[in-house]
């Protein structure tokens, strides 16, 4: 059995950012704008007292809609994904809905955010051996190809030094 398809079996919960910034409907548009600017993100999930998703407020909502509170300008019926959604399905949503970030739900509650960047990071963990073509999934830098033992699998010098 080859394990080339490891990434296809990964779920959203494996790659999502669990530290998610959310806002309530009664937060002012100005506060939401500050959060978006500060954290350089394009959208914030809007939740109720029980952390249940009620909408998403995006950069576009902030600059294009009238209203003083998040509840007035947010997009209701926002697209979200379940924590156990396949990454392939998430990619599909990113491509077809032209969105960059999706709230991740577990039993209706927001438990994370998954972004295009999270998926890109996953792709980067699939190391292609330049010698034999074997693809190996590894979180860290791969020293040698497990199949042909070639050592030039990590030819890039762009790898971050430890502790960076
Ligand atoms: Zn190899």
Dist. CA 134 → ligand 1 center (Å): 5
Q: Which two tokens stand for residue 61?
A: 């909502």
CA of 22 to the centre of ligand 1 (A): 44
CATH architecture of 6-121: Roll (3.10)
pTM (2 d.p.): 0.75
What single string gives the DSSP state of each residue in the chain?
---TTHHHH-BHHHHSBS----B-TTSBHHHHHHHHHHHT-SEEEEE-TT-BEEEEEEHHHHHH---SBHHHHSBSS---EETT-BHHHHHHHHHHHT-SEEEEEETTEEEEEEEHHHHHHHHHTEEEPTTT--EEE-SS---S-TTT--STT---S-PPPTT-
- Ligand 1 centroid to 17 CA: how many Å? 32
CA 53 to CA 66: how far, in whole Å? 22
pLDDT tens per residue across span 6-57: 545 789 999 999 989 999 999 999 999 999 999 988 899 999 999 999 999 9
What is the 133 CA–ligand 1 centroid distance (Å)? 6
- The helix-helix angle for 116-124 and 87-97 (nearest 10°) equals 130
Query: pLDDT tens digit string along 96-137?
Result: 988 888 999 998 899 999 999 999 988 888 888 989 999 888
């Amino acid at each position: 059995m080859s394990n080339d398809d490891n990434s296809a079996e990964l779920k959203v919960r494996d790659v999502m950012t669990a530290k998610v910034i959310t806002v309530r409907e009664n937060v002012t548009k100005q506060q939401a704008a500050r959060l978006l600017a500060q954290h350089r993100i394009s959208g914030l999930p809007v939740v109720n007292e029980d952390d249940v998703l009620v909408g998403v407020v995006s950069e576009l909502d902030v600059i294009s809609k009238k209203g003083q509170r998040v509840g007035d300008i947010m997009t209701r019926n926002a697209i979200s994904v379940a924590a156990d959604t396949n990454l392939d399905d998430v990619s599909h949503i990113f491509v077809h809905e032209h969105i960059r970030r999706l709230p991740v739900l577990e039993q209706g509650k927001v438990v994370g955010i998954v972004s295009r960047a999270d998926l890109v990071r996953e792709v980067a963990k699939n190391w292609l051996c330049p010698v034999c073509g074997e693809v190996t999934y590894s979180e860290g830098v791969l020293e040698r190809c497990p199949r042909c033992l070639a050592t030039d699998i990590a030819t890039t010098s762009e790898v971050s030094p430890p502790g960076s």
